[in-house]
């Protein structure tokens, strides 16, 4: 960023500068964190004043603070210090509105400069804030090309919020929740039911399920409970409910993943439909422009090439159902084929198979290292071209070790939330971890619902 100032001697009445700024929801969250102003009228889409419209009003002092941005960076610029600022508020600005901030020199004397300050809506010029600033102007010249401020990442999960908004209008997805006999698993299912994303049928030990409900103060009135003793037996009953047409999804409760999936892979009574079962983490990573898929991080330990084909295709199908443009980066330790590294060979083969139509619906490129899969600068440095390198939104990992580590690094270091889904079965299987947050559980149900109903329309 280039920063330059006008000294007191250079300033003349009538000099002006302006800034156009799109107010984002993240701006408002950052201001709330810095100022301590967590007024819900600024942070939520609630109708707190009862006028029939939702708020998300930009705080007045945030809008006014942009005046100081013009004074401090443009006119007079670096070296400027405030003495006084008057403010009159005439209207409100909201998230996702563009505003114009303008300052104009009125007079100067004895090192002090008076400026007219105003903020207007960019769309219609309507006045939001007016006032006057009195500043001490710089006396030394400043001109610098590479002045930068470190960027901030807001730990807010806007991609999951958008997914939930898409899922809520859909019919509630009938879902068999297997062994929801602890607070987390039962609470997640009931929260999704409250949001009208699923209609749960609770399958497992009825006494234990009711005890879990009592622990969290939940009312199970109107919710069907299928009393089954034993985890494997409960999973088998969930498969039967699918075959009977009573449910269109299965959700993991408080049981081991192996016990949930074992009946599903039974050739006679399970839920196989041709492809291998594969797992996808849909990750909402703060700062990323869209959800990021990590696959397979939970089921296939050391997948061979045919399994990786199914891993790619299942992930592409899910991305399409979420309205994404699937760009599959097949990861390895290097971005060139090395005969000593099997994952690089598999990646090259998957890329060529996509070119020949053996994997459809998305672009597949590999091998790619992690950096040049998701970072455009790294991809350019390595001379990688195409639409995937630097822009991958589906990451196919070499094996379960790499996938599990990557997903947990995103969760615990990058503050991502992850929705887990098993694909390749007759119905989507919602696979949550015991440590998952309520948002993760809710988003997993929403992803399953969107994927199911997208398939139903075909």
Q: Is the pLDDT of residue 45 over 70?
A: no
Hey, is 218 helix, strand or coil? coil
- Judge: domain 158-457, CATH 3.40.50.300: no
| β-sheet bridge partners, residue 331 | 368
What's the pLDDT score for residue 54?
63
Indicate the pTM of the whole model: 0.74
Q: Do 263 and 236 form a contact (C-beta atoms < 8 A)? A: yes
| pLDDT, tens digit, 9 for 90 and up, residues 170-221 | 999 999 999 999 988 999 999 999 999 999 999 999 999 999 999 989 999 9
Structure-block tokens of residue 210 = 């009711």
Each residue of 256-293: pLDDT tens digit?
Answer: 999 999 999 988 889 988 889 999 999 999 878 899 99
Query: Which residues does 360 contact at the CB level (< 8 Å), separation at least 6?
Result: 313, 316, 354
Q: Where in the chain is the domain with CATH 3.10.129.10?
A: 3-144
What pLDDT sits at residue 319? 97
Give the span between the Cα atoms of 83 and 380, in whole angstroms.
Answer: 48
Which helix (H) or strand (E) segment is 306 a member of?
helix 305-321
CATH 3.40.718.10 in the chain is located at: 158-457
pLDDT tens digits along 115-154:
999 999 998 999 999 999 999 999 999 998 877 777 776 7
Contacts of 376 (CB under 8 A, 6+ apart): 390, 391
**For position 166, what pLDDT does the model report?**
93
Helices (H), 59-121: 60-73
pLDDT of res. 443: 93
* pLDDT tens digit sequence for 403-440: 999 999 999 888 899 999 999 999 999 998 777 778 88
pLDDT digits (tens, 9 = 90+) for 284-322: 998 788 999 999 999 999 999 999 999 999 999 999 999
Supply the pLDDT for residue 184.
Answer: 87
Architecture of domain 3-144: Roll (3.10)
Owner of token pair 């270091």: 413
């Amino acid at each position: 960023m280039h920063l330059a100032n006008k000294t007191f001697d250079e300033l003349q009445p009538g000099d002006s500068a302006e800034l156009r700024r799109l107010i984002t929801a993240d701006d408002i969250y950052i201001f709330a964190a810095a100022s301590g102003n967590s007024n819900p009228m600024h942070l939520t889409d609630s109708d707190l004043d009862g006028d029939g419209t939702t708020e998300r009003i930009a705080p007045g002092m945030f809008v006014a603070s942009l005046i100081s941005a013009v004074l401090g960076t443009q006119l007079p610029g670096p070296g400027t210090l405030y003495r006084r600022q008057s403010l009159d508020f005439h209207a409100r600005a909201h998230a996702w509105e563009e505003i114009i901030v303008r300052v104009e020199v009125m007079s100067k004397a004895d090192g002090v400069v008076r400026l007219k300050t105003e903020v207007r809506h960019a769309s219609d010029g309507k006045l939001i804030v007016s006032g006057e600033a009195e500043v001490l102007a710089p006396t030394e010249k400043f001109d610098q090309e590479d002045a930068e401020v470190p960027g901030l990442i807001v730990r807010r999960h806007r991609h999951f919020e958008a997914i939930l908004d898409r899922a809520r209008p859909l019919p509630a997805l009938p879902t068999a929740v297997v062994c929801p006999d602890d607070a987390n698993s039962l609470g997640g299912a009931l929260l999704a039911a409250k949001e009208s994303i699923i209609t749960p049928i609770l399958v497992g030990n009825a006494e234990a399920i009711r005890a879990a409900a009592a622990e969290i103060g939940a009312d199970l009135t109107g919710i069907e409970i299928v009393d089954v003793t034993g985890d494997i037996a409960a999973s088998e009953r969930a498969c039967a409910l699918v075959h009977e047409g009573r449910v269109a999804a299965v959700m993991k409760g408080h049981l081991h993943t192996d016990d949930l999936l074992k009946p599903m892979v039974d050739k006679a009574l399970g839920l196989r439909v041709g492809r291998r079962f594969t797992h996808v983490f849909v990750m909402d990573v703060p700062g990323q422009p869209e959800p990021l898929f990590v696959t397979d991080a939970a089921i296939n330990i050391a997948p061979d090439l045919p399994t990786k084909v199914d891993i790619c295709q299942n992930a592409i199908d899910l991305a399409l159902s979420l309205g994404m443009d699937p760009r599959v980066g097949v990861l390895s330790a290097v971005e060139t084929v090395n005969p000593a590294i099997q994952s690089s060979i598999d990646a090259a083969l998957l890329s060529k198979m996509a070119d020949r139509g053996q994997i459809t619906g998305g672009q597949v490129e590999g091998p790619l290292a992690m950096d040049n899969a998701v970072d455009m600068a790294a991809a350019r440095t390595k001379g990688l071209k195409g639409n995937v390198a630097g822009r991958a939104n589906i990451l196919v990992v070499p094996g379960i070790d790499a996938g599990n580590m990557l997903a947990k690094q995103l969760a615990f270091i990058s503050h991502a939330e992850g929705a887990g889904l098993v694909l390749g079965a007759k119905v989507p299987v919602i696979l949550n971890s015991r440590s998952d947050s309520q948002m993760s559980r809710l988003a997993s149900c929403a992803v399953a619902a969107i994927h199911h109903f997208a398939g139903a329309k075909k």
